[in-house]
Chain A
Amino acid sequence: MATYKFQLNGRPSTAESWDPAQPLLYVLRNELGQHGPKFGCGLGQCGACTVLIDGKATRSCLTTVRQAAGKSITTIEALGTPEKPDAVQAAFIAEQASQCGYCTNGMVMTAKSLLAQNPKPTLEQVKQGMAGNLCRCGTHTRILRAVMRASGAAV
C-alpha cells in the first residue's frame, strides 16, 4: 500500500492504493466517495469518467493514481449542488439535457473545461469540443443547447 496526496475539490486529500497503476476513477469512486465520475468503457473512448485535473477535462479511467498525485482534481460534485448548481449545471437543468444521465457527468465536465478555454464558442466549436463524449440516449441536441446557454448565447 502506498499513499498518494492530491487536492480534491479544493481540499488536501490522501488515498491509499496497492497499485500505482490503479486508475484514478476507482480511487475516486471507491475510496473517496465521489460517485459523479462514471465507468463507461475504461478505454478513454466515451468520456463518462471525466474529471478536471488542474482545470482541464481528463479521463479518470486512463489517469493512474500515481499520475494524479500532487495534482488538483475537481469532480462534478464540487461544481454545485441541486439547490445551487453552477452555470453549466444550471444550463443542463434548464434544457433538461439528460435522459438516463449516465453520460451527464462527462458532458458537464467537458463543457466546463471547454468554456474555460473558449468562453464564447460557436455551435460548431462546441460540437467539435464535445466530439469525444458519447451519449447513447441521443440527448445531443439538448446538450448542445445547454452548453450554448451556459456560454450566454441565446438559445
Chain B
Amino acid sequence: MTTSTFSRRDLLKSGAAVLVGFTFAGRSAAQMAVGADAALGKPTGINDVDSFLAVHADGSVTVYTGKVDLGTGLRIAIRQMAAEELELPVERVNLVEGDTALTPDQGSTGGSTGLTQGGVQVRRAAATAREAFRNMTPADLASGKHFNMKVDPNAPLKDPKTYKVVSQPVLRPEVPLKATGRHVYVQDFTMAGMLHGRVIHPPVIGAKLMSVDESSIRSIPDVRAVRIESFLGVVAKDEWAAIRAARELKVTWSEGQTLPGSTGLGGYVRNAAVDRDETVINRGNTASAMTGAAKTFAASYYWPNQSHASLGPSCAVADMRDGGLTVWSSAQAPHNLRANMAKVFAVPLAKVRVVYMDGAGCYGGNGNDDVAADAVLLSRAVNAPVRVQWMRQDELGWDPKGPQQLIDLRAGLDAQGNIAAWEAEMWVPMNKPGTRPLLSIDAAGMAQDHGQGAGLMTQNADPPYAAGNVRVVAHHIKDTPLRPSNLRAPGKIANVFAVEAFTDELALAAGVDPVEYRLRGLKDPRAIEVIRRTADMFGWKPRPASAPRPVQGGVQIGYGFAYARYKQAENYVAMAMEVAVERTTGKVSVRRVACAHDCGLIVNPNALRNQVEGLIVQTLSRTLHEEVKFDRARVTSVDWVTYPILRFPDAPAIEVALINRPELPLYGAGEAAAVTVPGALANAIFDAAGARVRTAPFTPERVKTAIVGD
C-alpha cells in the first residue's frame, strides 16, 4: 500500500497549512488543501479503494482523484460517476483533485483521458465499495472507517437504465464562485511570508547571461536579483516591485541567431533532417493502385506553430525550506511534476508535494511546469515561499508550442469515384524519451531530462471512408525550431483538416454531393447518424457539382461539411458551417455551425455541450487567426495584438446535437469537436468563393491570394 509520507506536522513546519485565509461562505468544491490536510497519511495507491474514497460522519463521501479539472467540467462529472455507483445524491460527494499527498497518480489530464481513465477508475472503486458502504453503521461513518478493499475490476456497475445522477445536466458547483469572483485560483493563492518573483527571459533563445547591473533597481524597495548561471530572476516583497525590477534591471546577454524564422517554415520542415520514418498504416498496395486509378490528386497542407495562449499567464507558488518542497500549481500532471521536481532539485520524493489549484485554461502543456521550476529556484535562493506569475510576453513568448505540421496527401479514384488509393506523408517533431526540459533549469546549468513529445500526432491521417489501399508515413524530424508540447487535439486537427478538405476535392471530382460522398464510404451506423443529424439540423442542401455562389454586396456565402472519428477509435463528430467571404479583402466570417457529437455515454450533457461549443470557437480562432511568428532570435508573437485570437463579433451561432448512448463506453470530449473545424471551414470557403486554402491560419491575405489565384 502506497501511503503519503507527509505528516501534518511536516506540513505545519513547512508553512503549508496557511490556506486558512481563504475560508468564506459558499466555499469552493474545488481543490482546497485546508480541510483536506486532515486526511494526510491516507493511502494513495492505485489499487486500493481507500485511495479513492473516504467516508464521513454525516454519511457523505470524499472522492480523491489525480485527474484535474482544467475548466472542462471533470470536477462535477467524476462526482456524478461516484455518486451514481454509491447511490448518493451528488451533493453528498466531495472531491479532492491533484494533490500528490492525497490523491492516487492517475496520469496526466490530457488526451481526453480525464473521464475515460480517471473517471472510470473512480467509478470502479465506488462500485467495489457500494455494498460495504451501504452496510456501514453510523459509528463506522463517524470513525471514518476504511474500506480495506482492493479495487475490483469486475465489480458490477449500476445498470445504465437505473441511472439517476449520471447523464443529468447537473450544474458545475464552481460556476457561482467564478461568477462572483470568489473562486480561488493558484494566481490568488498566498501564504505567510510569501514573496513575489519574476523571471527575466533573454532576448534571444538560448542566450548566455553576460552581466547584471543591480544598481539599476536600487530605487525599488525590498527587491533583490537572483542569478544562477544564465537564470535570472527578481524577488520582492511587493508584486509591483518585482514587476518593475524585472523590467528595469540592466542586463547584458550574448547575442545570436538560433532560429530559422517562421516565414516559409513549411519548406524548412520539408527539408529538415529526419530521425526516422514511421509507416503508420500500410494496407494493400497504394503504388500499384495509384497507377491503375482513373484520376489522381495531390495536395499539401500546413498547420503553423500555435500557442496555448492561456488567458492568465502561468503561475506557481513554491516553498522550499527545511529540506522539503511544496508547490502549488495548476499543472496538468501534478504527480509527474512532483517526480520531476524531486529529481531536478535532489529532494527525496517523500518530501515533495504538489498541490493542484485551478489556473487559467491550459489546453495542454503551457508554461505551468516552467513557472513552477522558476518558483522553486527562487524559493531555494531566498529561503522563503515565492510566488511567480509569468507576464504576458513570457507566456506567449516562452510556453512550449503546439508544433508546426506539414502533410502531403495523394489519392487515386476509380472510374466510379471511389477511393482506390490514399497516401499521406507528414512531417512531425520526433519523440525523445524523458520529461520536457524546463527553461530555468537549463538556464541555471542544472541537470535535467531533455525529452520531447507533443502528443499522438500521427493519428487520423487516413480517411475514415472506404479506401482500397492506404499508406500513412510519418517523418519524425530531428530539430523543431520551438520547444514543442501537446496542444489540444495534437496533430489531429491538422490531419483531419487535410483529410476532410481533400475529401471535398475528391467528392467534387466524383460529381457527388460532399455529404452523400462521405455517407457512401461509411458503414458504421454511429458515423452515419452524426452525419445525417448534422445535415438535418443545418438544413444541408445537396450539391452534386460546385457552382459559383452569387456575389452580393461583395460577399459570397458558402457551406462546408466535415466528419471524423477521433483517433479513428473514439468520438464521432460531424460538422457543417456557413461562411461569408468578402471577395475583395478575403475576410471570412463564420455565421453558423452545426455539430452532432457521439461520445458514447454522456455523464453531464450541460458540461459536455460547453466543451463542444468551446472547442468549436477555440478551433475557429486557431484556424482563422493563430500563428506563432518568430524571427532568427525570438518569438515575436508576444501579446494579444501580435497573437490575435477570436473576439465576440466573430462568434458564430452554434447548434449542437448530443447523442447519448448510456449502454456504451464513454469517450472523453475535451478535444474531439476541434478536429472537424478547419476542414468544414476550408470547404465552406471553397464553396463560397471557389478558393482552396490549404495553409492555416486562413488570414484575409491568404484567402484573397487563393481567390485571385483561382
Q: Measuring CB to CB, which residues of chain A are less than 8 angstroms from any residue of chain B?
A: 17-19, 22-23, 26, 29-30, 34-43, 45-46, 48, 75-77, 79-83, 85, 89, 92-93, 96-105, 108, 126-128, 130-144
Contacts and interface: CB of A to CB of B under 8 A. Distances in A.
A76 B182 CA distance: 9
14 contacts: A23-B240, A26-B243, A35-B185, A43-B639, A45-B640, A76-B180, A82-B176, A83-B26, A99-B610, A101-B71, A101-B178, A102-B359, A126-B648, A130-B648
A22 B651 contact: no
B310 interface: yes
A80 B181 CA distance: 9
A81 B180 contact: yes
Interface centre among B312, B391, B615 (most CB of A within 10 A): B312
Nearest to A106: B311
Contacts of B312: 38-40, 48, 102
A138 B616 contact: yes
A139 B25 CA distance: 27
Contacts of A34: 181
Given A96-B171, A102-B360, A26 B392 contact: no
Given A40-B312, A136-B311, A96 B610 contact: yes
B72 A30 contact: no
Contacts of B640: 41, 43, 45-46, 134
**Interface size class, chain B:** 35 or more
B269 to A, nearest CB: 27
Contacts of A30: 238-240
B641 A45 contact: yes
Contact of A19 (B25, B244, B392): B244
Contacts of B299: none
B504 interface: no
A36 B181 contact: yes
Nearest to A22: B240
B358 A100 contact: yes
Contact of A35 (B174, B188, B645): B188
B184 A35 contact: yes
Contacts of A139: 610, 613-614, 617
Interface in B592-624: 606-607, 610-611, 613-621
A96 B181 contact: no
Nearest to A23: B240
Contacts of B611: 99
A79 B179 CA distance: 10
A155 B181 CA distance: 25
B160 interface: no
**Max count, chain B CB within 10 A of own CB: residue among A34, A105, A132, A135:** A135
Nearest to A61: B392
A90 B183 CA distance: 15
B398 to A, nearest CB: 15
Residue of A17, A81, A131, A140 ringed by the most chain B CB atoms within 10 A = A140
A136 B613 contact: no
B175 A92 contact: yes
Nearest to B390: A39
Contacts of B648: 126-128, 130-131, 133, 140, 143-144
B654 interface: yes
A77 B180 contact: yes
Contacts of A22: 240
Contacts of B72: 99
Given A100-B70, A142-B613, 11 more contacts: A38-B312, A39-B312, A42-B243, A80-B180, A82-B26, A89-B180, A96-B171, A100-B71, A103-B311, A130-B648, A139-B614
Nearest to A78: B181
Nearest to B174: A101
A142 to B, nearest CB: 7
Contacts of A140: 617, 646, 648, 651
A45 B391 CA distance: 13
Scoring A26, A79, A137 by chain B CB atoms within 10 A of each residue's CB, the highest score goes to: A137
B15 interface: no
A102 B176 CA distance: 13
A40 B179 CA distance: 17
A68 B178 CA distance: 25
A139 B178 CA distance: 13
A143 B654 CA distance: 13
B649 A105 contact: no
Given A18-B238, A96-B171, A136-B311, A104 B179 contact: yes
Contacts of B182: 36, 77, 81-82
